[in-house]
Amino acid sequence: MEPFRVHILGCGSALPTLKHNASSQVVEIREKLFMIDCGEGTQMQLRKSKIRFTKISCVFISHLHGDHCFGLIGMISTFGMLGRTATLRVYGPKELGPVLDSQIKTFCQGLEFSVEFHAVDTTKKTVIYEDRSLTVESIPLKHRMPTCGYLFREKPTLPHIKRDMIDFYHVPISQINNIKLGASWTTPDGDVIDNSRFVEPADAPRSYAYCSDTRYIPDLYKLIEGVDTLYHESTYASDNADRARKYHHSTARDAASVARDAHVGKLFLGHYSARYNDESVILKEAQEIFPNSYLTNEGMVFDV
C-alpha cells in the first residue's frame, strides 16, 4: 500500500509558546507533499522533520488568522533562494489573494517560479483540487472569519494481480492491464478463466479530514462521514467552554462528538490553548466520548 501519512509541524493556537508551534501539517500521499496551514516557524519545523519541503506542490490555508498563515511568505521567499522553478499552488479564502500578491511584490521580487492562488469558497463543500490519485474538498467551518477545512480522499485503485495465477495460465504481460480492468482470460484450448481467479480486491481508498479552527457544528459530521482519520481542533477542555463559544473554537468534547457522529476511524486533537501546560485533560475528555482519540505533538507522524 502506498504511503498516506500526516506530519505534524505545529499544533498550538494563536499565542506562541515554547511547547507548541503554530498550526501546520504536511500530508504525504503517494510521494506527493501537500501543506495545510503555514504558521510562523513552519520552516524550522520542516527542517527538523527532514521533509524535502521543496517538493511541496500545494499549500491549503484554512483562514487568515496569523497562526495559520504568517509563515507562508517566508517559505515562498526561501523557495526562491533555493532556486525553485516548479509552480506553487496556494488555496485559501478569497481574502488571501490580494494579501499574498502584495507580499510577493514587496518581499519576493524576481522569483523564478510562479505562485498560483486559487480562491476557495468557504461556504461550500466542493472539490478544489484533483489529480490522478486523489481529490481535495473544502469543508465549510464556522469561525470568526471565513474559514474552511480540507478533506483529502484517495481515488479507488485497480485490483491486485495474483502473479502465480498469471504465470500458471501463461497470460501475456500485454494482457495484465485488461485483467486489472475486469477482463477474463481465454486459454489457447478455448477455456474461459474468470477474472476473479487472477485478482485480489484493491486496497480501500483512504481519507483524511482537517478541521481547524471552528466552533462546534452539530451537523459537521455529515460532511466527513466515515473518514479514516479526522483532525479536529480542541482548543479547550470543557472547563473553558465559555471561552470556546466566545472565540468560536471547540472543546475536546465537541471534537469527540463530531468524530463519534461521523463514525471516523481515528481522531487526532490539536490547536491547544496556551493555558494548558498538560493536555492530558483534553485527551481524557475526548476519550470519554470517542475512545480512539489521540493528542498530536510536533514531530509526530501518523498513518491515515
DSSP-assigned states of every residue in the chain: ---EEEEEEE-B-SS--SS-PPSEEEEEETTEEEEEEE-TTHHHHHHHHT--GGGEEEEE---S-HHHHTTHHHHHHHHHHTT--S-EEEEEETTHHHHHHHHHHHH-TT-SS-EEEEEE-TTS--EEEE-SSEEEEEEE--SSSS-EEEEEEEPP-PPEE-HHHHHHTT--GGGHHHHHTT--EE-TTSPEEPGGGTEEPPPPPPEEEEE-S----TTGGGGSTT-SEEEEE--B-GGGHHHHHHHT--BHHHHHHHHHHHT-SEEEEE-B-TT-S-THHHHHHHHHH-SSEEE--TT-EEE-
Q: Are 284 and 251 in contact (CB under 8 A)?
A: no
* Mean pLDDT calculated for residue range 224-250: 97
* pLDDT > 90? residue 175: no
| Structural domains of the chain, ranges and CATH numbers in brackets | 4-157+203-303 (3.60.15.10), 160-200 (no CATH)
- Tell me the percentage of the chain whose pLDDT exceeds 90: 82
CB neighbours (10 Å) of residue 187? 11
**Structure confidence at residue 271 as a pLDDT band (50, 70, 90):** very high
User: What local confidence, expressed as pLDDT, does residue 167 receive?
Assistant: 85
- Mean of all residue pLDDT scores within the chain: 95
User: What local confidence, expressed as pLDDT, does residue 101 receive?
Assistant: 97
Cα–Cα distance measured from residue 275 to residue 213, given in angstroms and rounded to the nearest whole number:
17
* pLDDT > 90? residue 176: no
- Residue keyed to cell 524576481: 110
* pLDDT > 90? residue 49: yes
* pLDDT > 90? residue 52: no
Q: Are 44 and 72 in contact (CB under 8 A)?
A: no
Q: Cα 19–22–27 angle (5° rounding)?
A: 110
* Mean pLDDT calculated for residue range 283-296: 98
User: What local confidence, expressed as pLDDT, does residue 235 receive?
Assistant: 98
Q: Identify the residue with better confidence: 93 or 31.
A: 93
* Mean pLDDT calculated for residue range 268-288: 97
Residue 221 exposure: Cα atoms within 13 Å on the Cβ side: 16
**Structure confidence at residue 247 as a pLDDT band (50, 70, 90):** very high
At residue 190, φ and ψ (nearest 5 deg) are: 90, 5
pLDDT tens digits, residue range 123-146? Answer: 999 999 999 999 999 999 999 999
* pLDDT > 90? residue 170: no
| pTM more than 0.85 | yes
Is residue 131 flagged as an active site residue? no
* pLDDT > 90? residue 230: yes
User: What local confidence, expressed as pLDDT, does residue 1 receive?
Assistant: 78
User: What local confidence, expressed as pLDDT, does residue 236 receive?
Assistant: 98
- Tell me the percentage of the chain whose pLDDT exceeds 70: 100
Find the catalytic residue in 37, 67, 228, 254.
Answer: 67
